[in-house]
Structure 1
Amino acid sequence: MLFRRNVESEKRTSYSLSDEEILKIFNIDADGVSEDKLKQATYFSCFRILTDSISKLPLKMYQENKEGIEKANDHYLYNLLKLRPNPYMSSSDFWKMIEFQRLDKGHSIVYIDTIKRGRNAGKIKGLYPLEMNKVEVWIDNAGIIGKDNAIWYIYKQDKNTEFKFKSDQVLHFKGMTRDGITGLSIKDYLKTTIENAQSGEKYVNNYFKNGLQATGLLQYTGNISKEDENRMRERFEKMANGLKNAHRILPVPTPFSFQPITPSMVDSQFLEINELSIRQIASGFGIKPHQLGNLDRSTHTNIVEQNKEFYIDTLQPILTMYEQELTWKLLLQNELEQGYFFRFNVDSILRSDIRTRYEAYQIGVQSGFLSINEVRDKENLSSKEEGNQLICNGNMIPVSMAGEQYKKNNTQNE
């Protein structure tokens, strides 16, 4: 074996009789709950909110120099990442897929396609996300390749085709991580909570399918064969269950009697338990209640604050991880030294109402630290001549000159 350690293979080394893989071999359904966690409404909503939030943020390239920070829109990577990372995906679709895989699998890997020959050798042509089901992460602990602890990515396109990528040939975006190399999937840690929510949805679904009718106990005095028992059960279920039988009279022949035994949703505190599962799933993703349509304790003021908290507590660490990986892997050493870097524009999230923005702009311009063109750029307006000049209120003077006007007035009076 070439490598001593396969990160993916270390996830599971032993099996028990309760393990899902063992149950699959014998075609045993442990709990009747779908393994596809995305079928759970809250889990799917959290995926949608995070993927949409990331994909709507424009990614831009900047350069920091002695004069400050400015857009590097003359760099060839600027439009590549802003508009179309590869011929088949827009920037929005690209980031939706990346974020989806990062949440679902714990990490997402993107192949960096570069020009191999000619004077443009090394120049990036496109970025292609890999299917995480076909990727394995290997660590060369022994230094067999020639570099200690080198990380390799093995992509198995099919049974006969396999690609090996070095660490600098891919972008590796992670979620939570224990070792800094591979990410942890949210669904593995929220498995029990998600399955509880799935069970609740399945209960409600069956409740409606049965026409909101409760199951019960069919009583009979006397002996009855197993065959007759099954026949009577099927007959009563056919008469009582289903939406078409809702609120209809159920004829019970003599000597049978029917007694409901299923508790109501209120008796079993179903709504409270289901609400708890929703909050726990949302909390695991860092999603705020109002984003899931829960407005019980929400007002206009605290929703604005919750949006800011969502950016600071949830999105900012994700965006920082993306920005650092892009900057380190896509830029050359001399470009890093020249101050180039990538950054997502989060103005669309933090953007206040128009009155609040204009009042803030007015303070910035009058205080002399914002120019007219900087304000117009934030509002997606074209620049104006002499708009880069800083202006301020004429009554303002340096602190060192405080009191000079009084000295001048006293001299004139004398």
Structure 2
Amino acid sequence: MASRWYNPMSWSFFGFNDPKTGQYIEVNNEIGGQTRSGEVVTPKKAMAIPIVWSCVKILSETASGLPLKLYEDLPAGRALAKGNSRAARLLAKPNPYMTMLNFIKAIIVNMALRGNAFALIERNDAGEFIGFIPLSADSVEVNTDDDLIYWVTLKGQRFPVSPEFMLHFKIFSADGINGLSPVEFQKEAMGLAKAAQSWSSRFMRKGGFTGGYVIYDNFLTAEQQAQVLDKFPKIRDGDVEDIGKMGLLQGGPKIVPAGMTQKDSQFIESQQFQEEALAGIWGVPLYLANRAGKTSIMGSNLEQQTSGFITFGLSPYIKAIEDEINDKLFGGTTQFVEFVVEGILRADSAGRATYYGSALGGSGGSGWMTINEVRRKENLPPLVGEEYDRVTRWEMQTNVKD
């Protein structure tokens, strides 16, 4: 594949050229669709649900904020890669249009909504990677009929891309090739939340008026019915400017409300339940999404919940990114990349202190880390001296009789 840069802002979705006008027409191939609640859920529409926005935002911003380090696998153990190598520069700025922070954000958003994220690998004539830029998941089709091939559609042109030129990040999968989309498989839950959101908006627009019946003891003529209905046209049309105005009805009618109030429908409780269910899809604790709710099953305090979020919510995403980059870009070499998550774990101060104490041999047993190794995990500079690079060993002395 020839090496040339593409501006991702100019990329289009699947489509065709109109034979009459010659114009390119995009086709909506977004995942999701119609739900039983009546709402249409797609990745873009799902982001209009506040809790979905919060969860995806937390995942993308947290993962992109983690340092992505390049390591060297040496006989004496792993060590940070030294020097300003091409790989190190690309891990800071993978293409001319974005930094690694924005690249990771785009990848996580696609993974969290569509289950898959793609990035085209640019290589030079020697086969060395010189950059990679994200693709919209809607513009890539995975074909496994014979060999694994990625069909990419850009501005109406469809072309194949072999796996060595494509980074394919995915969440958990049923076949090991395509990630399962949360929007596709959880669209009913999202549709219910969106329907409640729409109903609440209409309820507020009508000033809490849910409609009702005007009951008379005697039958009305068609003319009388028209006169009664004409008294409240704006309320029935939902014009907020007419809410609160007076109406006059003669003949002793009875006004019977129709439908359920927010209290009767347990609207608040239902909304809270939907937020908990949707946050659970991405493993995000409610407190991180700025929701004051029940205690999470991940722990009884914020430190434990943060640790649980890293393990069960964030880790699957960053491990998938590490695995794909190491396989496609550094496979067959001694180099590999890894996210540094210790910065987030600093919140669990008591747990970290206990762990590092044991690692240094402070619990009465043999240690397995040096002081400088602990300092590196805390992003602190190393101390000078052999004693700071020595692992503590507690040797068991035995008396041997001559």
Structure 1 length-normalised TM: 0.75
Q: Corresponding residue for 2:73?
A: 64
> When the two structures are aligned, how many residues end up with a matched partner?
357
Q: 1:348 aligns with which of 343, 349, 352?
A: 343
State the 1:373 CA deviation: 3.3
Q: 1:128 aligns with which of 126, 133, 151?
A: 133
Q: Is the 8 A contact 1:373 1:388 kept in 2?
A: no
Q: Corresponding residue for 2:39?
A: 33
Q: Corresponding residue for 1:292?
A: 289
Q: Is the 8 A contact 2:111 2:117 kept in 1?
A: yes
Q: Is the 8 A contact 2:142 2:148 kept in 1?
A: yes
Q: 2:90 aligns with which of 80, 92, 96?
A: 80
Structure 2 CA distance for aligned equivalents of residues 198 and 364 of structure 1: 49
Change in Cα spacing, 1:392 to 1:384, as seen in structure 2 (3 Å) is closer
Q: Corresponding residue for 1:223?
A: 220
Structure possessing the higher radius of gyration over alpha carbons:
1
Structure 1 CA distance for aligned equivalents of residues 56 and 196 of structure 2: 20
1:185 aligns with 2:184: no
Q: Is the 8 A contact 1:210 1:243 kept in 2?
A: yes
**CA displacement 1:199-244 (0-9 Å, x = unmatched):** 1111111111112233221234443438x75674354142585555
Change in Cα spacing, 1:360 to 1:138, as seen in structure 2 (3 Å) is closer
Map 1:265-284 → 2, pairs under 5 A? 265-284=262-281
Q: Corresponding residue for 1:144?
A: none
Q: 1:103 aligns with which of 103, 112, 117?
A: 112
Q: Is the 8 A contact 1:46 1:282 kept in 2?
A: yes
Q: Corresponding residue for 1:385?
A: 384
Letter aligned with residue 302 of structure 1:
N
Unpaired runs of at least 5, structure 2: 1-26, 28-33
Change in Cα spacing, 1:176 to 1:235, as seen in structure 2 (3 Å) is farther
Structure 2 length-normalised TM: 0.77
Q: Corresponding residue for 2:323?
A: 324
Q: Corresponding residue for 1:306?
A: 305
Structure 2 CA distance for aligned equivalents of residues 209 and 134 of structure 1: 39
Letter aligned with residue 133 of structure 1:
D
Task: State the secondary structure of the residue aligned to 2:250.
Answer: coil
Q: Corresponding residue for 1:165?
A: 161
Change in Cα spacing, 1:243 to 1:403, as seen in structure 2 (3 Å) is farther
Q: Corresponding residue for 1:51?
A: 60
Q: Is the 8 A contact 1:252 1:258 kept in 2?
A: no
Task: State the secondary structure of the residue aligned to 1:291.
Answer: coil
Identity %, equivalent residues: 25
Task: State the secondary structure of the residue aligned to 2:143.
Answer: strand
Change in Cα spacing, 1:106 to 1:361, as seen in structure 2 (3 Å) is closer
Q: Corresponding residue for 1:89?
A: 98
Q: 1:154 aligns with which of 135, 151, 154?
A: 151
Structure 2 CA distance for aligned equivalents of residues 392 and 173 of structure 1: 38
Q: Which is richer in helix?
A: 1
Unpaired runs of at least 5, structure 1: 1-20, 22-27, 142-149, 408-414
State the 1:398 CA deviation: 1.9
Tell me whether 254-263 or 368-377 shows the greater mean CA deviation. Answer: 368-377
Change in Cα spacing, 1:40 to 1:235, as seen in structure 2 (3 Å) is farther
State the 1:387 CA deviation: 6.5
State the 1:153 CA deviation: 0.9
1:398 aligns with 2:395: yes
**CA displacement 1:36-61 (0-9 Å, x = unmatched):** 22212222222212222221222112
Structure 2 CA distance for aligned equivalents of residues 281 and 212 of structure 1: 27
Structure 2 CA distance for aligned equivalents of residues 29 and 403 of structure 1: 77
State the 1:332 CA deviation: 4.5
1:236 aligns with 2:242: no
Structure 2 CA distance for aligned equivalents of residues 249 and 346 of structure 1: 59
Letter aligned with residue 306 of structure 1:
Q
State the 1:283 CA deviation: 1.7
Map 1:362-377 → 2, pairs under 5 A? 364-365=359-360, 367=362, 369-377=368-376
Change in Cα spacing, 1:106 to 1:372, as seen in structure 2 (3 Å) is closer
State the 1:188 CA deviation: 1.3
1:112 aligns with 2:121: yes
Q: Corresponding residue for 1:15?
A: none
Letter aligned with residue 110 of structure 2:
Q
Q: Corresponding residue for 2:21?
A: none
Letter aligned with residue 135 of structure 2:
L
Structure 1 CA distance for aligned equivalents of residues 394 and 230 of structure 2: 92
Cα RMSD (Å) of the superposition?
A: 3.3
Q: Corresponding residue for 1:8?
A: none
Change in Cα spacing, 1:53 to 1:224, as seen in structure 2 (3 Å) is farther
Tell me whether 355-364 or 283-292 shows the greater mean CA deviation. Answer: 355-364
Structure 2 CA distance for aligned equivalents of residues 392 and 192 of structure 1: 55
1:213 aligns with 2:203: no
Structure 2 CA distance for aligned equivalents of residues 54 and 234 of structure 1: 58
